[in-house]
């Protein structure tokens, strides 16, 4: 396993595995026995970075979520896991009532909601301190300064270690970081967005954002990361839910554009050259990025996990990397 450092403050920064394990469906779609086996193997292989959210997976049973956090808490206790494993969670998108969702009825990012959500997550995870806490989605009904202050207070109290944000407009990220600096508070240091080798269209409206998706790592975010190298991108859905390799998993509609075939062609060429799998090449491409990227890949079986872990040791040549970058 290889490792990366997230955060800059010596008091809160953490060394984590270069590959993160997504636990979104653990305890719901993926049963306890399988989830525990995947978690155990990940740790045995040197993995130290696990990701979840307080609302995972509310859509499975129409409830409020929390299944993933509860399973991780049970696994931690049964294995005697301490602070050697970094568990990241998110808040802001847990439904307020069963049968609703994060679009129409989210918990939001008010100070009251933030503090209440953190206590629920700490209890489910069985931890005194949450290692990394993300603002999961935007909440434009609340002044940004209120959210920034609430998150900063959690770090100062020792309840949370590092702060991050996901699925936010980049101008909101920068404004929040500026507000935190001005107030002398900790700010966001880890950003979580969807990022893969194939590029989607960024202008297709979504239920949350009428101007287009803010959940993808588009050109503005990538430019921001190149300029602000104290930030780390945690790239979720790097393998597009199996769409690179599974015929029963077609690419999402926003990948249906003229640039996709040429990038796929180069990806398949390099897959053949390396003798690796297409998924491994995608992950290796992210791992060799000129700015810090930690791929966040889920797994529903040990075979999937082992395939992903092998990507950490796959070394692409500069020429291969250049071809992957330059395909349009």
List the catalytic residues.
56
Produce one character per residue of 198-230: b if its CB has 16 or more CB atoms within 10 Å, e if not: bbbbbeeeeeeeeebbbbbbbeebbebbeeeee
**Under DSSP, is residue 84 helix (H, G, I), strand (E, B) or coil?**
coil
Strand-pair category, 20-22 with 293-298 = parallel
Is the backbone of residue 212 left (phi > 0), alpha (psi -120 to 50) or beta?
Answer: left
Nearest to 167 by CA among 147, 194, 145, 148: 194
Residues in the chain: 328
The CA distance from 13 to 96, in Å, is 32
Give the CA angle between residues 59, 87, 48 to the nearest 5°.
125
- Supply the angle between the helices 111-125 and 144-156 in degrees, to the nearest 10: 40
First to last CA, the chain: 32
For 184, the token pair is: 């002398």
């Amino acid at each position: 396993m290889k490792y990366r450092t997230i955060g800059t403050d010596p008091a809160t920064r953490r060394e984590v595995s270069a590959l993160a394990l997504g636990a979104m469906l653990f305890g719901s779609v993926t049963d306890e026995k399988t989830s525990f086996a995947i978690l155990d193997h990940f740790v045995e292989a040197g993995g130290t970075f696990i990701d979840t959210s307080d609302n995972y997976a509310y859509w499975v049973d129409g409830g409020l979520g929390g299944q993933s956090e509860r399973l991780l808490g049970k696994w931690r206790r049964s294995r005697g896991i301490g602070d050697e494993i970094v568990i990241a969670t998110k808040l802001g998108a847990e439904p307020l009532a069963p049968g609703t969702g994060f679009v129409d009825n989210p918990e939001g990012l008010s100070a009251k909601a933030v503090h209440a959500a953190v206590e629920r997550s700490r209890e489910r995870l069985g931890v005194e301190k949450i290692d990394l806490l993300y603002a999961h989605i935007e909440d434009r009904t609340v002044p940004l300064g209120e959210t920034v202050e609430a998150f900063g207070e959690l770090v100062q109290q020792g309840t949370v270690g590092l702060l991050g944000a996901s699925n936010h407009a980049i101008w909101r990220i920068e404004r929040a970081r500026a507000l935190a600096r001005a107030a002398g508070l900790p700010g966001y240091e880890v950003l979580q967005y969807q990022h893969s080798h194939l590029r989607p269209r960024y202008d297709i409206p979504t239920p949350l954002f009428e101007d287009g998706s803010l959940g993808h790592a588009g050109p503005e975010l990538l430019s921001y990361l190149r300029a602000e190298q104290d930030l780390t991108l945690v790239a979720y859905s790097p393998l597009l839910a199996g769409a690179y390799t599974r015929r029963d998993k077609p690419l999402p509609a926003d990948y249906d554009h003229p640039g996709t075939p040429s990038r796929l062609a180069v990806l398949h060429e390099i897959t053949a050259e390396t003798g690796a799998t297409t998924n491994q090449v995608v992950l290796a491409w992210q791992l060799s990025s000129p700015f810090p990227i930690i791929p966040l890949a889920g797994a529903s079986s040990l075979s999937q996990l082992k395939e992903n872990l092998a990507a950490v040791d796959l070394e692409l040549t500069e020429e291969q990397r250049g071809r992957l970058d330059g395909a349009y």
